Amino acid sequence: MKKILLLALLAFGMNVKAQITLEHKYDSASALGNGATQSNQLMVINFELSGERYLKINRMSKRISIYNLNHALIKTINCSGFPVNSNGLLGDFLYFSEQLFDLDSSIKFMYVYGGYGIPASTNIYKDNGTIIFSDTGAPSIRVNEPLQQYPIYNTTQGTKMILSYSNGQAWVFSIPGNLTTAINDANNNLISAQNLGKISNPYPNPTNNTTNIDYTLPPGINEGEIVFYNLQGAEVKRFKVDKTFSTLLVSTADIAAGTYLYQLVTSMQCTEGKKMVVIK
């Protein structure tokens, strides 16, 4: 009986471990560095117009690479002409956005550099290298700079975990759960910036006509959108929501049979992705 129980526990442990699966490896993306070398970065950015993207900063080759959620390269931003820190490497990148610094569709970001005889300065760039703002002021407390890099992200294609390795690679893992406010509370608000609003699973699910989705907007946010995507990451449908109601009735009459992901999008955050199955 003890042997049977032990085998059952081992099988359960192997099954749980198998739920965390390696999805992709990125070269020159590790956040591990040493005193003489600044680290590279890999993160997930949810752009206002184009949606979720992997973004890789390679400080040695001085370029930023942007990939879709299927890890296909979309864009490369050449940073070879950027001013550098006193060690000859690129500085810090903050606030990647499409519509924060101006309202066209290009990607913009804040770039901060300086140190050891080079005055700290801030430039704001477009993705074509154009400077739209420059000043000798800079964020002064490094630990508080929102570099947008976290170890775990909720996405429309499931929850992703990014780990860095000493060989210079960063690996992306798919994990079975979602970041939630309960996890946030248990970890002293570690992920409070990522999860403030809430969205429910659809009911009924699967659905062949209509389904209901409950939602809660973050404090101080009065409106948002519930956005649906197919499994390739293409947007299928979006609905505006506000605090007048807390449930969205979704008609699937004009949606083809299949599996879809959706999330609540506000100016503050995007919630974890949920799954809806449409049958005909």
122 & 170 share domain: yes
pTM: 0.59
Bigger pLDDT: 162 or 9?
162
CATH number for the domain that contains residue 258: 2.60.40.10
41 & 142 share domain: yes
54 & 137 share domain: yes
228 & 108 share domain: no
The percent of residues in the chain predicted with pLDDT above 90, rounded, is 42
For residue 258, the enclosing domain spans: 195-278
The percent of residues in the chain predicted with pLDDT above 70, rounded, is 78
Question: C-alpha 224: how far from its chain's center?
Answer: 18
Looking at 140, 175, 210, the residue that finishes a domain is: 175
Residue 2 counted as domain residue: no
217 & 100 share domain: no
pLDDT per position as a tens digit, 160-169: 999 988 888 9
44 & 83 share domain: yes
166 & 240 share domain: no
30 & 111 share domain: yes
User: The tokens 């950027």 sit on which residue?
Assistant: 82
Residues with Cβ within 8 Å of residue 202, at least 6 apart in sequence: 211, 212, 213, 250, 274, 276
Q: Are 191 and 154 in contact (CB under 8 A)?
A: no
Report the domain count for the chain.
2
pLDDT per position as a tens digit, 97-136: 998 898 888 999 999 887 666 778 899 999 999 999 999 8
Residue 8 counted as domain residue: no
Residue type, 259: T
Residue type, 211: T
Residue 6 counted as domain residue: no
Residue 233 counted as domain residue: yes
30 & 142 share domain: yes
User: What H or E segment, with its residue span, contains residue 174?
Assistant: strand 170-175
Ramachandran bin of 168, using left for φ above 0, alpha for ψ from -120 to 50, beta for the remaining angles:
left
170 & 212 share domain: no
Residue 208 counted as domain residue: yes
153 & 243 share domain: no
pLDDT per position as a tens digit, 247-270: 999 999 999 999 998 988 887 667
